[in-house]
Amino acid sequence: MPVPRFLLLSALLAWGLIAVTSASARAQAGDDDPMARRLAACTACHGPQGIELEDGYVPRIHGKPAGYLYNQLINYQDYRRRNTSMNHMVAHLSPAYLYEIADYFAGLDTPYPEPAAAPATAVAERGEQLVRHGDTRADIPACAACHGERLTGVQPNTPGLIGLPRQYIMAQLGAWRVGTRHAAAPDCMHTIVGRMGPGDIEAVAAWLASRPIPTDTHPVANAVLDPPLDCGSVPVPERRP
């Protein structure tokens, strides 16, 4: 009888695998990188370079802000996000170690996958409108207002949206819509997705997945001072008088 996948991944993380899972991982991190060896269970699904993702429902975590990655690990630990493998693997890890994991992946600067094919014209136009400009009549703010003009994320806690599979984006927006994914209150994404129409999630996901990768893929250094909604996971820096 095959070993359940989540148990296998959990064992790999807990035991600190001696060797990384592929030659490309060794080339990226180096054979003598103890953190890479300890996180071999992570790269088993998220990829050693964040390119060859398992099935379209696995996100790229390389290069995302450490604060965002840490928040997500805590969300999995607290079951605000639900994935059997992730919930099980982080269940007994300390906050300090979770941040060490987040900081490690945030520091990886690896290539991005090729963009997906462009969607149909009507879908692309609606997706671009929502991402770039939002929809004032539906009270939907632009994705770029928080995730940055280049959509590469904003320090310290807002993720980039480029290089993600369409299926993953759709799954996460859908999870927020039905309430199976949560963030720290106030949960701004749950509010935003609740205002989106039936075809909006597909349009946003398809357009984002087809975006060419910008020359500078790093998160924007300066936090958003005036976000369109309050987000519990993204503290707003104090404004100077």
Q: What pLDDT is recorded for position 33?
A: 83
- Counting the structural domains of the chain, the total is 2
Instruction: Determine the residue type at 109.
Output: D
Q: What's 153's domain CATH number?
A: 1.10.760.10
The Cα–Cα gap between 98 and 95 comes to 5
Say whether both 64 and 25 belong to one domain: yes
Average pLDDT in the chain: 85
Q: Is residue 81 part of a domain?
A: yes
Report helix, strand or coil for 25: helix
Q: How confident is the model at residue 17 (pLDDT cuts 50, 70, 90)?
A: very low
Say whether both 102 and 20 belong to one domain: yes
Q: How confident is the model at residue 203 (pLDDT cuts 50, 70, 90)?
A: very high
The Cα–Cα gap between 64 and 152 comes to 8
Q: What is the mean pLDDT of residues 128-151?
A: 97
Q: How confident is the model at residue 158 (pLDDT cuts 50, 70, 90)?
A: very high
By residue range, what is the domain housing residue 194?
A: 121-209
The DSSP string of 171-225 is HHHHHHHHTSS--SSS-HHHHHHHTS-TTHHHHHHHHHHTPPPPS--SPBSSPPS
Q: What is the mean pLDDT of residues 153-179?
A: 94
Mark 178-192 as b/e (b = at least 16 C-beta within 10 Å).
eeebbbbeebbbbbb
Say whether both 130 and 84 belong to one domain: no
Say whether both 127 and 174 belong to one domain: yes
Q: Is residue 194 part of a domain?
A: yes
Q: What pLDDT is recorded for position 53?
A: 62
Residue 226 gets which letter from DSSP?
Answer: S
Q: What pLDDT is recorded for position 49?
A: 84
Q: Is residue 56 part of a domain?
A: yes
Q: What pLDDT is recorded for position 8?
A: 42
Say whether both 94 and 157 belong to one domain: no
Q: Is residue 231 part of a domain?
A: no
Q: Is residue 3 part of a domain?
A: no
Q: How confident is the model at residue 224 (pLDDT cuts 50, 70, 90)?
A: confident
Q: What is the mean pLDDT of residues 114-131?
A: 97
Specify whether the backbone of 139 is left (phi greater than 0), alpha (psi in -120 to 50) or beta.
left
Say whether both 145 and 91 belong to one domain: no
Q: What pLDDT is recorded for position 51?
A: 73
For 45-88, write each residue's pLDDT tens digit: 888 887 766 567 888 999 999 999 999 999 999 999 999 999 99
Question: Does the pLDDT of residue 24 top 80, yes or no?
Answer: no
Say whether both 136 and 88 belong to one domain: no
Q: What pLDDT is recorded for position 3?
A: 44
Say whether both 15 and 95 belong to one domain: yes
Q: How confident is the model at residue 222 (pLDDT cuts 50, 70, 90)?
A: confident
For 174-188, write each residue's pLDDT tens digit: 999 999 999 999 999
Q: What pLDDT is recorded for position 12?
A: 40
Residue ending a domain, choose from 106, 129, 147: 106
Say whether both 155 and 196 belong to one domain: yes
Tokens, residue 237: 């820096």
